[in-house]
Structure 1
Amino acid sequence: MICPFCEKNLLYRERPNRTCSGCKRRFALDPKTNSLRMSDLRIRRLLQKRTDGGRLKISVKQLGAAALPRTVPGKSRSPVVEALGCLWVPLLTGIVVLIIGLNAEDAGGFAIFGGILVLIFIIGMFAAAMSGRRQRTTDPLSGFHSLLVNDWTAVYGSLPPGVVDDFPLGRVYVPEGARIALLCPDRGIAAFLVANEMADRYGVAVATEIDRLPEEMPVVVLHDVSAPGCRLVIRTREALPGRTVIDAGLPPRAVMATPGAPARRGAKPAADFIQWLGESGTLTKAELDWLAKGWTVSLVAVRPAKLLAAVTKTVERAAATTRTDPERRKAEAVGFFTWPDEAGR
């Protein structure tokens, strides 16, 4: 790796305890010791891109999402499938040897050897299945937050310039003259919107929980493309009867099989959950099938500049819903997000 201070190219043995053997200065991240292979210089490069050259502030989670490798919808292979590709040779060999051993005289050794190969296959498949289960239930960004909040701040004294931490639990941000409420359960995105003064500029009260929303204001719901995200809009309308509730999240159809959409496959929702979503009448069968496979697109994966522009547009339209009923119905029916093209526009 390159030292972030003196720019010397360092071998692993030349940077013990994350300290450059040339300039003797300690750096925060060593790509050999973290799963995302992050370094101080890579953090700075990602920041330059994601903050639009320093124009925006972003959250730790948004920066972490930029570091994750992308998964293409429909082309992801499960650990079990990958294990099958690696273990079919011992399986086939084991079956052949086992059959020979069982049908030949004095070939007990063949039978035992074949049985061992088959057992190796079974153990390998079981281990792959358990690994896949762990991957689906583990937040891929959980380690990145620790890298920045602990390792980076220990060396530099604070988060990188332009990076803000998550919105505090239970907090509601209510700027002077607030007239619209925004519900966003992702605390990283809530912090991003407040840090970039969108809430102050348009009089938007920001909350991460339904029961913390200010009363009487129209509500904009910002959520991930996921089964829980789609449920949030339905639950909000049930909890706030008579209130204008605008779905500002990406609809699944906006990202399904879309090149460049950073979809990830996690745990599959329960069948009765998907059925309940279908009964709401807000999703097509194709969207329900996509969600049932566990596909999601997180808000933190959307380019910050694109996200801020889309939320701003949504808030401007939400303000119009307070004036006329036809406008209100139109705003509630239209999704305000469109996925950026390959050029990022």
Structure 2
Amino acid sequence: MICPFCDRNLLLRERPNRTCSHCKRRYALDPKTNSLGLSDARVHRLLAKLTDGGRLKISAHQLGAAALPKSTPTKSRSPVVEALGCLWVPLLIGIIMVVAGVSADDVGPFTVFGAILIGIFVLGMTIAAISGGKKRGTPHPLSGFRSILLSDWVGVYGALPAGIVDDFPSRRVYIPEGARLAVLCRDRGIAAFLVANGIPERYGAVIATEVEQVPDALPVLVLHDASAPGCRSVVRTREALPGRTVIDAGLPPRAVMNTLGAPVWYGDRPADDLIEWLGESGTLTKGELEWLARGCTVPLTAVRPAKLLAAVGRTVERLAATTPADPERREAEAVGFLTWPGEAGR
């Protein structure tokens, strides 16, 4: 890797304890010791690209998503498949020993030991089958990345990289003066991204991460991942806010599922009853339901920041243009005086 301070090309043995052996300065990230293969220099290159040369602010997970390999994560294997991989050797040896022992004149310890090995295989497969319903979930591709920045990067440089904003604290809501609408986004990093890039002040938009935080009478845009839980959040929000204008701002599965090069992540398949429930809600097509049922996800963090900000801006601007600022008109909206085209009764 290249030293971020003296630009020397360092071999692994030349950078012990994340310290350059030439300039003696300590850096934050070593590509050999973090799952994304990030170095300080690569972080700076990615930030220059993602922030449009410093014009935008982004979240830590938006940076991490850009650093992920282009190949999508694989699905986790079932316990039965893992057991087969671990136990086929003792099974094979056990069979050979039993066959050899039975064929010999003296059927003794040799055969018994082989039978024990076969028993180990059977026991292992039985345990794996029993635990099949409790298989390990596929880890999130960015699991732990934010904590790496907070510990390693902040530990060396004293602050997050320039251009990165930290996630919203839990239960925080951002309410600008003259609020005219609300944007509900459960991803606290994306919520911080919207605030840092001026969406609230530009459009009079409240930024909330929980439906309980949405002020009364305001129409609501729900911003979510293209995923089964994300699509569920739109339906749940409409149920929680009856009589309110609630608009699905995306990301809808149909916008990405057939798009070449879309950053699709594959995780654990959602529960069958969730897919069935989404189907009954009438908000998704059969193709979208099948795509979601395979465990496909396109998270908001994987969308290029400038593109995401522009899309959110267009959607918010469209709603803001039809949303009056004075309280009496907002109260009329709350009881259906004004509705978003195509959204009435949903």
Answer yes or no: same fold by TM over 0.5.
Answer: yes
Distance 1:295 1:99 in 2: 46
Per the alignment, residue 288 of structure 1 pairs with 289
Deviations 1:158-208 (A, max 9, x none): 111111000122221111222111100100000001101122111111010
Per the alignment, residue 328 of structure 1 pairs with 340
Which aligned pairs between 1:71-220 and structure 2 lie closer than 5 A? 71-72=71-72, 76=74, 78-80=76-78, 90=89, 93=92, 97=96, 100-101=99-100, 104-106=103-105, 109=110, 112=113, 116=117, 133-136=135-138, 138-220=139-221
Q: Cα offset for 1:242? A: 1.3
Q: Is the 8 A contact 1:190 1:207 kept in 2?
A: yes
Deviations 1:43-78 (A, max 9, x none): 1122122112222110111111222234449xx454
Q: Which runs of 4+ in 1 moved over 3 A?
A: 70-73, 76-103, 105-127, 132-135, 320-327, 330-333
After the TM superposition, which of the residue ranges 252-261 and 190-199 deviates more from structure 2? Answer: 252-261
Per the alignment, residue 19 of structure 1 pairs with 19
The count of corresponding residues between Structure 1 and Structure 2 is 328
Identity of aligned residues (%): 59
Q: What's the TM-score once normalised by structure 2's chain length?
A: 0.82
Segments of structure 1 that go 5 or more residues without pairing to the other structure are: 334-345
Distance 1:69 1:119 in 2: 39
Which amino acid in the other structure matches residue 184 of structure 2? L
After the TM superposition, which of the residue ranges 144-153 and 266-275 deviates more from structure 2? Answer: 266-275
Which amino acid in the other structure matches residue 29 of structure 1? L
Which amino acid in the other structure matches residue 77 of structure 2? P
Given the alignment of the two structures, is residue 304 of structure 1 paired with residue 302 of structure 2, yes or no?
A: no
Which amino acid in the other structure matches residue 69 of structure 2? P
Q: What's the TM-score once normalised by structure 1's chain length?
A: 0.82
Q: Cα offset for 1:286? A: 2.5
Question: Structure 1's 272 and 29: CA in aligned 2 closer, same or farther, altered over 3 A?
Answer: same
Per the alignment, residue 327 of structure 2 pairs with none
After the TM superposition, which of the residue ranges 182-191 and 257-266 deviates more from structure 2? Answer: 257-266
Distance 1:45 1:101 in 2: 63
Which aligned pairs between 1:222-237 and structure 2 lie closer than 5 A? 222-237=223-238
Distance 1:286 1:111 in 2: 55
Q: Cα offset for 1:238? A: 1.1
Per the alignment, residue 9 of structure 2 pairs with 9
Question: Structure 1's 237 and 135: CA in aligned 2 closer, same or farther, altered over 3 A?
Answer: closer
Q: Is the 8 A contact 2:94 2:114 kept in 1?
A: no
After the TM superposition, which of the residue ranges 103-112 and 230-239 deviates more from structure 2? Answer: 103-112
Question: Structure 1's 16 and 207: CA in aligned 2 closer, same or farther, altered over 3 A?
Answer: same
Q: Cα offset for 1:104? A: 2.7
After the TM superposition, which of the residue ranges 216-225 and 280-289 deviates more from structure 2? Answer: 280-289
Question: Structure 1's 165 and 332: CA in aligned 2 closer, same or farther, altered over 3 A?
Answer: farther
Per the alignment, residue 258 of structure 1 pairs with 259
Question: Structure 1's 82 and 255: CA in aligned 2 closer, same or farther, altered over 3 A?
Answer: farther
Q: Is the 8 A contact 1:184 1:209 kept in 2?
A: yes
After the TM superposition, which of the residue ranges 217-226 and 265-274 deviates more from structure 2? Answer: 265-274
Which aligned pairs between 1:22-101 and structure 2 lie closer than 5 A? 22-72=22-72, 76=74, 78-80=76-78, 90=89, 93=92, 97=96, 100-101=99-100
Q: Cα offset for 1:330? A: 3.8
Which amino acid in the other structure matches residue 104 of structure 1? S
Question: Structure 1's 82 and 195: CA in aligned 2 closer, same or farther, altered over 3 A?
Answer: farther
Q: Is the 8 A contact 1:173 1:205 kept in 2?
A: yes
Q: Is the 8 A contact 2:95 2:114 kept in 1?
A: no
Distance 1:121 1:66 in 2: 45
Distance 2:218 2:50 in 1: 32
Larger radius of gyration, structure 1 or 2? 2
| Counterpart secondary structure, 1:79 | coil
Q: Cα offset for 1:98? A: 6.4
| Counterpart secondary structure, 2:182 | strand
